[in-house]
Amino acid sequence: MPSRGSATTAVSGLVALAIAVGVVAMLSIGVGSRFIPPDSVLSALFSPGGGFYDNVIWELRIPRTVAGLVIGAALGLSGAVMQGLTRNPIADPGILGVHAGAAFGVVVAIYVFGLLDFRAHVGFAFAGAALVSAAVWLVGSRGRDGATPVKLALAGAAISAFIGSATSLVLYADSTAFDEFRFWSVGSLAGAKADLLLAAAPFLAGGALLAFGVIRGLNALSMGADVARSLGQRVRLVRGAAALAVVLLSGTAVAAVGPIGFVGLTVPHVARALAGPDHRRVLPYSALLGPLVLLGADIVGRVVAIPSEVQVGAITAAVGAPVFIWFVRRRTVREL
């Protein structure tokens, strides 16, 4: 374990992570149902137009890889902010109802408004995610002890169940919506196209800016609301901005590629283990670890079932759920 105090170790850790992300991104361009040798990848990247693989690389692999980088960073960041905001080690956008809300938004877009265009889904999914996570927060933070982990998790489960049944009702009534929805609901990077990424970019950039803007506030909040207040932080403002950042980042991510669970949950834990509890380090580490995990899972999904592929959402659920359970078991219940 590197020394947590020194700024140079933190920076060199970040550089190492960035190199790892670059390697995984290269792999992600090269690996798939058709393997592309590294020299062809490089020539397609830096002198496009001549190579045999250029089309595959520029039309499919690069948008998918960029989606993995951007969405992974968004999921990692949103998880780190969510856990800092709630001071809750098991906070995850999915557990707190963002996925159920986004799913309902997508179903409403398909069924009520007949929209089959991805860019339209983004707005609806985003609105659904925002409304539902606000409701979960309101219900879970009632009472003197505020938003305790257990209360938030239970409120998330209750409201997700309710919204989920409303989603089911629509899917039951409409076969077209069901057919569209079942592919969205697994969570996959395969459908990512350049225009979709462009539509999502402003939301993600805004969320990332907000997230890095509240770092000081999150550090103060980690000592408790009272201490944060006495340190001169406007607690409500910090909490509101952090929550908005989470909804912008994870809501847009869900809208763009479907619900991908457990990345936002586990990545910040790894970041804290590597970099310590200071959010000035946790956030950048999470923003690099997120793409590493997501692209890694996506590559695994592409090769485990050749010639078909397993969607990245299924891979992260299969790997992430055991990690979640391990966290729950590791702590005594009161600490949770």
Partner 1 sequence: MTASLDRGAMGPAADPALGRALDRALDRALGRAVRGPGFSARLAPRALLVASAALAVLLALAVASICFGDYPLRFDQVVDAIFGGSGGQSYIVQRFRLPRAVGGALAGALLGLSGAVFQTLARNVLASPDVLGVETGAALVTVILMTLGLTGTAALTGGAFAGAAVVTAAVYVLAYRRGINGMRLILVGIGVNACVTGGTSYVLMLAEVHTAERAHNWTLGGFNGLGWEQVAVLAAGLAVTLPLATGLAARLRTLSLGDGVARALGLPLERSRLLLVGTGVLAAAASVAVAGPVAFIALVAPQIARRLIGRPDGGLVTSAIFGALLAVAADFAGRQLAGDAEIPVGIVTALAGGPWLVYLLMKRGSRSTDG
- 144 is a contact residue toward partner 1 (CB under 8 A): yes
C-alpha to C-alpha distance for 249 and 264, rounded to whole angstroms: 11
What span, in angstroms and rounded, lies between the C-alpha atoms of 251 and 179? 22
Cα 252 from chain centre? 9
> Which one, 22 or 322, has the nearer CB to partner 1?
322
Q: CA-to-CA distance for 251 and 258, rounded, in angstroms?
A: 10
Residue 87 interacts with partner 1 (CB under 8 A): yes or no: no
Is position 173 an interface residue for partner 1 (rule: CB under 8 A)? yes
Question: Nearer Cβ to partner 1, position 66 or 225?
Answer: 225
Q: List own/partner pairs for 22-27 with CB under 8 A and 24 or more apart.
A: 24/291, 24/292, 24/295, 24/296, 24/299, 25/65, 25/68, 25/69, 25/291, 25/295, 27/295, 27/299
Residues 178-207 close enough to bind partner 1 by CB under 8 A: 178-179, 182-183, 185-186
Torsion of CA 41, 45, 51, 56, to 10 degrees: 70
Does residue 329 bind partner 1 (CB under 8 A)? Answer: yes
* Closer residue to partner 1, CB minimum distance, 215 or 257: 257
**Binding status of residue 318 toward partner 1 by CB under 8 A:** yes
CA distance 117 to 97: 24
**Position 325 contacts partner 1 (CB under 8 A):** yes
For partner 1, which is the closer residue by CB, 154 or 244? 154
Contact with partner 1 (CB under 8 A) among 20, 166, 197, 205: 166
Would you count residue 261 as binding partner 1 (CB under 8 A)?
yes
Using the rule CB under 8 A, which residue among 112, 161, 201, 237 binds partner 1? Answer: 161
Whether the Cβ atoms of residue 94 and residue 259 lie closer than 8 Å to each other: yes
Q: Which of 6, 12, 55, 168 binds partner 1 (CB under 8 A)?
A: 168
Dmax over CA atoms of the chain, in Å, equals 66
Question: Using CB under 8 A as the criterion, which residues of the chain lie in contact with partner 1 when the complex forms?
Answer: 90, 94-95, 139-140, 142-145, 148, 150-151, 153-155, 157-159, 161-166, 168-169, 171-173, 175, 178-179, 182-183, 185-186, 261-262, 310-311, 313-314, 317-318, 320-322, 324-325, 328-329, 333-334, 336
